[in-house]
Copies of this chain bind each other. A is one copy, B any other.
Amino acid sequence: MKTSLTGKSTSVTIERHAPFTIIGEKINPVGNKKLAASLLASDYEYALDLARSQIEAGAGILDVSVGASGVDEVKVLPEVIKLLIDEIEVPICLDSPNGGALAAGLEVAPGKPLVNSVNGEEKSMEAILPIVKDRDAAVIGLTMDEDGIPNDAEKRFSIAEKILERAAKIGIPKEDVIIDPLVLAIGSDTNAGIVTLRTIELVSQHLGVNINLGASNVSFGLPDRHTINQAFLGLAIAAGATCAITDPLRLTPTIKALDLLLGRDEYAGRYIKECRRRAAKVE
């Protein structure tokens, strides 16, 4: 299954046996006070800096969230996207729970963008899927519903099925829905990892769609989070994940190594290039 996205001039195809796609997560004011303050002041230069550094580090797509206290997302999301696309060529992933903000952002986003996200709640599917369909965008579907995030892979799988059926019903093809099986903090639930990995396997084997991973939640509250996040990527990719919303500045080396080990990087060309790029940054 191929999910093809386009930005102003470059396109990205997410698929199982191709190099893994990194969706840069850093344009998000949650946990970034400097970004929150600059968005409030309608100063978008810092967001542009975050875009540049993530693309340089290997992001194929940029997630853009402007959700912070006091920020009018309906106004700010399209403004940030407009400024970004003056310079940025890659596809945009519009990240908001706010349908109005998504619609406004989708109007100015170039090419075929990605929407983050819909979930299995009735009100979410009713609000978000028509906006995605109108714009012929793709969408990330989270495996949660009115009852929260099930602690059970079969239930998460059922929600994925429901989102795909509902999307199909209004004309969004299967390849334009990327399922995110969600991952909770392993520090508070020993089963958090295996439930997510099992959901990835089920979705990959039975639905065949692309699978996104929010790769950083898993380590929440634990020491040396990076080691856990790195390890989780390998397990998730082995299970069938094809893209991740994550920090390319930290995780690109591991992702390039995984591509290499899975036979997706002939003569280690991209892995070596990434090592050289990092070495040049350090000097």
Interface residues of A (CB under 8 A from B): 186-187, 190-191, 193-194, 197, 218, 222-224, 227-228, 230-235, 237-239, 253-254, 257-258, 260-263, 265-268, 271-272, 275-276, 278-279
**Contact across chains for B223 and A275 when beta carbons are under 8 A apart:** yes
A50 CB → nearest B CB, Å: 24
A258 CB → nearest B CB, Å: 5
Q: Which chain B residues lie closer than 8 Å to A267 at the CB level? A: 187, 190
Cα distance A63–B250 when bound, in Å? 34
* Copies of chain A in the complex: 2
Q: Which chain B residues lie closer than 8 Å to A279 at the CB level? A: 223
**Contact across chains for A222 and B272 when beta carbons are under 8 A apart:** yes
Q: Which chain B residues lie closer than 8 Å to A254 at the CB level? A: 227, 230-231
A166 CB → nearest B CB, Å: 31
**Contact across chains for B218 and A231 when beta carbons are under 8 A apart:** no
Q: Which chain B residues lie closer than 8 Å to A223 at the CB level? A: 272, 275-276, 279
Most buried by B among A194, A231, A233: A231
A182 CB → nearest B CB, Å: 15
Contact of A253 among B186, B227, B232, B266 (CB under 8 A): B227
Query: Which B residue's beta carbon lies closest to that of A258?
Result: B231
